[in-house]
Structure 1
Amino acid sequence: MSFLENPEKQGISGARAAARLSVAPMMDWTDANCRYLHRLMSARTLLYTEMVTAPALVRGGARHLLAFNPEEHPVAVQLGGSDPAELAEATKMCCEEGYDEVNLNVGCPSDRVQSGTFGAVLMKSPDLVADCVAAMSAAASVEVTVKCRIGVDDQDPAQVLPDFLERVSAAGITRFTIHARKAWLQGLSPKENRDIPPLDYDLVHAMKRDFPHLHISINGGIASLEKAQQHLSRGLDGVMIGRAAYHTPSDILLGADAAIFGQEGGKTAEQVVAEMRPYIARHLAQGGRLAQVTRHMLGLFAGRPGARGWRRTLSEGAHRDGAGLEVLDAALACVTGGG
C-alpha cells in the first residue's frame, strides 16, 4: 500500500508539502544546531538530518544521534543501511522520536558507506532497495522516501534510473529526491562526486513525465531560489538545495517562504541572530561550546559589507575557552557597523 493510500502516514507537520523546497542532508553540517538556525530562517522548508546509519542505532545503541529540537518540524531523518530488518527497526526508532519522514540514502558515494554496502552502491541493487523500503514502510508511521543518484560508474542513467524508480516505487514508495549526477564509486572522492560528474537535469525532468504519479524532487548544483523556481515551473514537485543553503543561507532561506511557498513576511539576518541568542545561551548553560553553534552561522551575512569581519570574529573567538555571547555581539558589530 502506498503512502497516498495511507493518509495517516503524513507526518505531524506535512513533510510532503514542505518538500517543495528542502535542505539536503549533509554530513558534519546539518546537525541539530544547524537545523535550528535554518528553521528560524524559513518556517516552511523541509530540513534533513545528517545521515544516521541503521547499524549505529540498532547494534550500536546510538539513539542519541536522533535527538532534535521540537522547533525543527517539519524535519526528516536520513538513514543509511542495506539490511531490511535492521532498517525497519531503525525506522521504528525514528518514528518514535517524532520525525516527519524517514529517508533512505541511495546516493552517498563515500568509501565508508560503500564498505557498509549502502549509499550510492545500492543503485546497482534496486531489488534490495525495494526490499529495504518495503520493510521500512511496514514499520513506519510516517512517509518513507528515497534519495538516489541517476546512476553509478559505467551505468547508463537513461536505462538505469527509470528501472530503479519502477522497481522501488512498486514497493510502495512514491517520493524520490534525485541527485542529477552519477556517482563514481572508484576514482573520485565524495567532494569530487559533488562537482565533477556532469549534471543531467533533463533526465530528472523526463522521469517526472514518465512517472507522473511520483513526487520527484531534484538535487545537485542548484544555488539560488531563481533556479529552484525554474525547476518547479517545469513540473517537478520539489527542489533540494545543499551547499548553497549552508554557505549562503540568507540568500536561500530568508526568501524561501515567500518565493517558494507564497507566504508573506520574512526576517532579516540581524533578526535571526537576535533569535539565536536564547538558543545559544541554553547551549552554553548545558556545557556546550559557542563554536558548535556559530560555525553554522558564518555565511549568514555573505555578500554584505562587514561579512569578512563577522566570519573572522566568530572563527577566531568562538573556539576560545569560555567564549560566550559577547563574541557574537562583537561579530555582529562588524556587520551593523559596516566594518
Structure 2
Amino acid sequence: MTFPVDRPRRLRRSGALRRLVSETRLSPADFILPMFVKEGISDAAPIGSMPGVFQHTLDSLRKAAHEAVEAGVGGIILFGIPAVKDERGSGADDPTGIVQKALRDLTADLGDSAVLMTDLCLDEFTSHGHCGLLTASGEVDNDSTLERYASIAVAQAAAGSQVIAPSGMMDGQVRAIREALDGAGHLNIPIMGYSAKYASAFYGPFRDAAECAPQFGDRAAYQQDPANARESLREVLLDLDEGADIVMVKPAGAYLDVVRRVRDAVEVPVAAYQVSGEYAMIEAAAANGWIDRDRAIMESLVSIKRAGADLTLTYWATEVARKLG
C-alpha cells in the first residue's frame, strides 16, 4: 500500500490543536456594535426583523453600551431616529437632537473605555427617507447635501463623537467633512468612510430599525452597483485622498472579494459591515432549526476577518465578545 507523504489532517485532530494553528483569530476589540436610539419612546422597542436588536431609549442605550464595553467590544456606532422629520433632516445637527443627547450621555459614562462613533447620513432624519437634500425634480442634490453633512459632522464632534462615519455616498463627502471638522478645531477626529457601500437587498431590516425606507425611488443613484468591484477601489482611493482615516466595505458577506481587494490596496484600517440582512438570515434560519446558530455566527465573522477586515461592524458584537472573553 502506498501511503500519503503529506498529512494535513495531523493538525486537525483535536480542538486544542486546531486552535493552536488557527490562521484567523477574532478579538472583541475588533468589533463595532451598531446601536439605534429613538426619541420619544419610554421603553426599548424590539425590532421584529432583527431578533435581539432594539430601538433604545437614552437609558436603555446606556445600559446596553455598558454591557458591550464590559464584554470588551472595541467600538459603538450610533444611529438616531428623531420624533420629527423634515425635508432637510434638521434633527441631524440640532444640538438637542437625539444623537447629540446620546453622545453626551455615553461620553460621560464610558470615557475612553470604547470608541464612540456616529453614522453621518440624512436618511433617518428626512421625511422623504433619502440620504440628502432633494432638487425640485426629486433627485438628491449632491453639493447642497455636502453642506448639511459638514454641519452634522461638527455637531456630532462637539457632542462627543470620537469617529465620524459618513454613509451617504455623496461625491466629495469626506473632503467636505474633513474641512468642516478642521475649521471647527476638531483636527484630531478621525473619519471612517463608508467608502464602498453597495445598493444592496440586504439592508431591509435596517430600514425597519432606523425607520428610513425611501418614500419614493431607491438609492441606486448614489450607492454602488453590486456588479462592480473595480469601482470600489476608485471610491476608496478618493476617500483616502480626501482625508479618510479608515475605509469601509458594506455589506460584508456578499462582498468578501471587495474586502480583500481593498485590504490589498491600502495601508489604513479596513472595516466591513455585517449588515442587518446578514444578521436576520442567520437568526431566521437558526430559529427554524435549519442551521447551527452559534457556528454560523462565528463562521460568518471569521470569514470577514479572513478576507482582510481589521474591524467588523456586527449586531452580534456583545454576544460574541462575551464568548471570546
TM-score by length of 1: 0.48
Which of the pair has the greater relative contact order for Cα pairs under 8 Å at 6+ separation? 2
Greater percentage in helix: 1
